[in-house]
């Protein structure tokens, strides 16, 4: 059993996907075609922002954000130590210093008290990475940003469709509450295409225009280079796929939540396992269903599942501040007790919108068997 049933998802919307891709093939407008502009309008409306700029990947979205806000040499950007490397990579690519903050070991999200300890006169931004489908607690980050004069960028690659508190305290879509929200359309994401893709969201019209220009070689108009840019464009075939999937996203998120609730009901109370925590004031979409397992048992459980044909994943096996690439170009919080607990204990189980009750039952039965919990007759 794979972590994500992408083929099952495709079959559920096959006719719509095939028709949408056929339309692009007939039009032969493969780069910046009409489907791309329509997707940007629909994503902006769905997320609740004024502007959406699609791009080549979630990593590009972060790089565009860092470039647009002027991050450069001498600046520092605070990012979580426990996450995927793109968030630190894009800071370093701008010549700035990644500063690694601790995370809450229950929610896996950045710890605002750690952020506060790390703020310096060089702090340009903090990146709130919404981990595994659950958004960060945003109001404390906004308060720190107001007091110290930096901006808040959201990495929403794993939590599109989730909800969190905005700066005013009102509930809003994750990715819409910071100055800039970045997301990824990698195939396994909550909203994924059939290749790489990403998008940047903002309510700031001038910032959106600058991001769009940077993503198109710094041109405005064509062949008039106003700044040094990159080539980062979502191709039209991917936009067509995403437009179809966006129409089903609400139902697919509900299916993920239902699958997570089935895991919760089956696994809560199993000794040696802690189910994901749902934090107050946010709404989880379960991009991953990540257990915390007794470190002495985690690798054994993973091998046990693999022997039964069940895939599982460790996101992430080491902290970013321990990675060779960042040892000499970063700094980090001296107190990383939350993050330090996670690499040896986290284990993500298969979950997606099309996992199926019977398939999920296999996973739950195997986990219980490993821990010696007898199934009720």
Q: What is the pLDDT of residues 163-172, one digit of tens each?
A: 999 999 999 9
- Residue tagged 């990146």 (tokens): 127
Is residue 52 one of the residues assigned to a domain?
A: yes
Between strands 123-129 and 76-80, the pairing is parallel
* Whether residue 351 sits in one domain with residue 209: no
Same structural domain, 20 and 166: yes
* Nearest-10 crossing angle of helices 14-27, 236-267: 160
Active-site residue set: 189
Are 205 and 132 members of one domain? Answer: yes
Q: In the prediction, which pLDDT does 375 show?
A: 66
Q: Which pair of tokens denotes residue 108?
A: 């896996």
The answer to whether position 1 is within a domain reads no
- Residue 33 and residue 71 in one domain: yes
Under 8 Å between Cβ of 163 and 169: no
Check whether 88 has a pLDDT greater than 80.
yes
Asked whether 82 and 339 are in contact (CB, 8 A), the reply is: yes
Residue 41: which domain range? 6-243
Q: What is the CATH number of the domain that holds 24?
A: 3.40.640.10
> What number is the average pLDDT over the span 306-329?
97
HSE of 165, CA atoms in CB hemisphere, 13 A:
14
> Helix, strand, or coil here: 290?
strand
255 and 331 co-located in one domain: yes
Q: Are residues 222 and 99 in the same domain?
A: yes
Residue 64 lies in a domain: yes
pLDDT single digits (tens) 323-377? 999 999 999 999 999 999 999 999 999 999 999 999 999 999 999 999 998 764 3
Q: State the average pLDDT over residues 3-18.
A: 98
| Domain shared by 117 and 27, yes or no | yes
Closest CA to 148 of 117, 104, 181: 117
Asked if 126 and 180 touch (Cβ cutoff 8 Å), the reply is no
pLDDT at position 377, please?
A: 37
- The answer to whether residue 235 is domain-embedded is yes
**Burial of residue 274 (number of CB atoms within 10 Å: 0-12, 13-18, 19+):** middle
Distances (CA, A) of 58 to 193, 309, 340: 12, 31, 26
Number of domains within the chain: 2
| Residue 344 falls inside a structural domain | yes
Cα–Cα distance between 172 and 142 in angstroms, integer?
A: 14
- Among candidate residues 243, 274, 300, the one where a domain is terminated: 243
Of the candidates 51, 64, 23, 342, the residue with the CA atom closest to the CA atom of residue 176 = 51
- In whole angstroms, what is the distance from residue 344 CA to residue 171 CA? 34
d(CA 250, CA 215): 29
Mean local confidence (pLDDT), 158-182: 97
Clarify whether residues 45 and 168 are in a common domain.
yes
Looking at the fold, whether 227 and 268 belong to one and the same domain comes out as no
Q: Are residues 316 and 350 in the same domain?
A: yes
Q: What is the mean pLDDT of the chain?
A: 97
* DSSP state, residue 133: G
Would you say residue 210 lies in a domain? yes
Query: Would you call the peptide bond into 221 cis, given omega within 30 degrees of 0 as the criterion?
Result: yes
CATH number at residue 271: 3.90.1150.10
For the whole prediction, is pTM greater than 0.75?
Answer: yes
Q: What is the DSSP string of 175-239?
A: TSSSSEEEEE--TTSSS--SS--EEEEES-HHHHHHHHHHHBTTBSSTT-B-S---B---BHHHH
What pLDDT, in 10s, does the model give residues 129-143? 999 999 999 999 999
- Of 243, 260, 284, the domain-final residue: 243
User: How far is Cα 331 from Cα 33, in angstroms, rounded to an integer?
Assistant: 43
Specify whether 330 is located in the same domain as 227.
no
SS3 of 305-361: HHHCCCCCECCCCCCHHHCHHHCCCCEECCCCHHHHCCCCCEEEECCCCCCCHHHHH
Residue 215 domain flag: yes
């Amino acid at each position: 059993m794979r972590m994500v049933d992408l083929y099952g998802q495709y079959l559920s919307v096959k006719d719509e996907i095939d028709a949408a891709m056929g339309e692009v093939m007939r039009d032969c407008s493969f780069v910046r075609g009409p489907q791309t502009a329509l997707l940007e309008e629909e994503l902006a409306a769905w997320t609740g922002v004024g502007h959406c700029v699609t791009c080549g990947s979630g990593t590009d979205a972060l790089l565009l954000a860092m470039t647009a806000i002027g991050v450069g040499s001498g600046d520092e950007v605070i990012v979580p130590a426990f996450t995927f490397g793109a968030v630190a990579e894009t800071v370093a690519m701008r010549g700035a210093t990644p500063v690694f903050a601790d995370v809450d070991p229950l929610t896996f999200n950045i710890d605002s008290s750690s952020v506060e300890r790390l703020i310096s006169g060089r702090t340009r931004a903090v990146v709130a990475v919404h981990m595994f489908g659950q958004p960060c607690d945003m109001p404390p980050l906004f308060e720190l940003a107001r007091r110290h004069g930096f901006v808040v960028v959201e990495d929403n690659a794993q939590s599109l469709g989730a909800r969190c508190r905005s700066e005013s305290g009102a509930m809003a879509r994750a990715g819409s509450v910071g100055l800039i929200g970045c997301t990824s359309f990698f195939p396994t994401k909550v909203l994924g295409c059939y290749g790489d893709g990403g998008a940047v969201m903002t309510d700031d019209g001038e910032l959106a225009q600058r991001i769009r220009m940077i993503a198109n070689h710094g041109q405005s108009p064509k062949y008039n280079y106003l700044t040094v840019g990159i080539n980062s464009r979502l191709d039209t075939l991917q936009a067509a796929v995403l437009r179809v999937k966006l129409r089903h996203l609400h139902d697919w998120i509900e299916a993920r939540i239902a699958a997570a609730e089935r895991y919760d009901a089956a696994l809560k109370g199993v000794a040696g396992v802690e189910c994901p925590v749902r934090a107050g004031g946010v709404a989880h979409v379960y991009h991953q269903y990540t257990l915390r397992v007794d470190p002495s048992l985690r690798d054994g459980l993973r091998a046990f599942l693999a022997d039964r044909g069940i895939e599982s994943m460790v996101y992430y096996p080491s902290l970013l501040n321990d990675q060779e690439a960042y040892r000499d170009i970063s700094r980090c919080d001296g107190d990383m007790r939350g993050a330090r607990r996670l690499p040896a204990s986290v284990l993500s189980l298969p979950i997606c919108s099309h996992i199926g009750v019977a398939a999920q039952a296999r996973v739950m039965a195997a986990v219980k068997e490993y821990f010696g919990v007898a199934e009720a007759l």
